[in-house]
Chain A
Amino acid sequence: MSTPTREDVEKLVLSSLEELGAESDALNPTATFEDLDVDSLDLAELSQIVEEQYGVKLQGEDVAKLRTVEDAVNLITERAAQ
């Protein structure tokens, strides 16, 4: 599995959030999960998608700290590079 670029990760996160029901007009890197109406179950499912795609396991405490789309992209990019 090759290491994804930040752009790859951002694309995956945005498309996943849209699949999970976030309004596409509101989706951008600085959008907060609260504004997007993305809750803990959605983030758990996003973690599952990321694990399937990149083999990166995000723990509950990692996910609980995330506030914005950008936070998620940064964390996933960082973990995928490890």
Chain B
Amino acid sequence: MSPKDTSWPPTRPEDGCALVTGGSGAIGAATVKALAADGWPVVVHYGRGAERAQAVVAEVEASGGTAVAIAADLADPAAPEQLLADAVAALGPVRVLVNNAGITRDNLAMQLTDEDWQSVIDVDLTAAFRLIRPALKTMIRARWGRIVNVSSVIGLKTNPGQANYAAAKAGLLGLTRSVAAEVARRNVTVNAVAPGFVESEMTEGILDGLIDHIPARRAGRPEEVAATIRFLASPEASYVTGSTLVVDGGLGA
């Protein structure tokens, strides 16, 4: 059964909030600010960057927006659902979920430990699923929801030394497509962005040798990724679902 509302311009719920995991990192912080600029109260999740998360909250508040920082260790199996509950308690139902948190534990596959493998899968992939699962319940009831998973060009192409990260990021793309097809009829969209090399803590020190391979001849800005996420989270992106938007300066062209 498929209730259809194709009115234009589309609207969005007046209540609720956006939740951005890894909201204290470069792409996360830029995303928080972009969504706040669109009027969303934003929950800024952080793992270890408490000061940076508070700084992002302060920036949003200085611009007249609303944000709160909430800590959670997403490697803990119970943490994602608790984070969602804390977000709802703080700012209302989560209407926009941005799964941005990610870690790396790089090494050649033959030298990766089980722990290196599992910790990346847990945070970069499994935690996203563990947030999506409860978030969908509210979204399908509300007939409105936006989920954006932050994957990577590494999930599409290759980078020696990142088998764990590549597997997690490619897994996110499969998760995105499957869930998108399941809930599209409820006006809940699920998309991914695949950033290329973006100026961030994660890419610090590795960009110099890579720039020549990027057609744009520069690294991306976190704001350029955030702008893509902002679009996918907007009411106007209502017919975009199951997609991966690549933001890589032409690297994969």
Which A positions have Cβ atoms within 8 angstroms of B? 20-22, 37-39, 41-42, 44-45, 48-49
Contact = CB atoms under 8 A, between A and B. Distances in A.
B52 interface: no
Given A37-B1, A41-B182, A41-B185, 18 more contacts: A20-B1, A21-B1, A21-B2, A21-B3, A22-B1, A38-B1, A39-B1, A41-B140, A41-B183, A41-B186, A42-B1, A44-B140, A45-B140, A45-B141, A45-B186, A48-B137, A48-B140, A48-B141
Contacts of B140: 41, 44-45, 48
Among all A-B residue pairs, the 7 with the closest Cβ atoms? A21-B1, A48-B137, A45-B140, A20-B1, A37-B1, A42-B1, A21-B3
**Interface residues of B toward A: which range?**
10 to 19
Contacts of A45: 140-141, 186
Contacts of B185: 41
A36 B218 CA distance: 56
Most buried by A among B1, B3, B141, B183: B1
Contacts of B182: 41
A56 to B, nearest CB: 14
22 contacts: A20-B1, A21-B1, A21-B2, A21-B3, A22-B1, A37-B1, A38-B1, A39-B1, A41-B140, A41-B182, A41-B183, A41-B185, A41-B186, A42-B1, A44-B140, A45-B140, A45-B141, A45-B186, A48-B137, A48-B140, A48-B141, A49-B141
Contacts of A41: 140, 182-183, 185-186
B136 to A, nearest CB: 9
Nearest to B141: A48
B177 to A, nearest CB: 16
Nearest to B140: A45
A41 B27 CA distance: 33
A69 B1 CA distance: 16
A21 B3 CA distance: 7
Contacts of B186: 41, 45
Most buried by B among A20, A21, A45: A45
A44 B188 CA distance: 15
B81 to A, nearest CB: 13
Contacts of A39: 1
Nearest to B1: A21
A80 to B, nearest CB: 19
Contacts of B183: 41
A16 B85 CA distance: 25
Nearest to B3: A21
B130 to A, nearest CB: 16
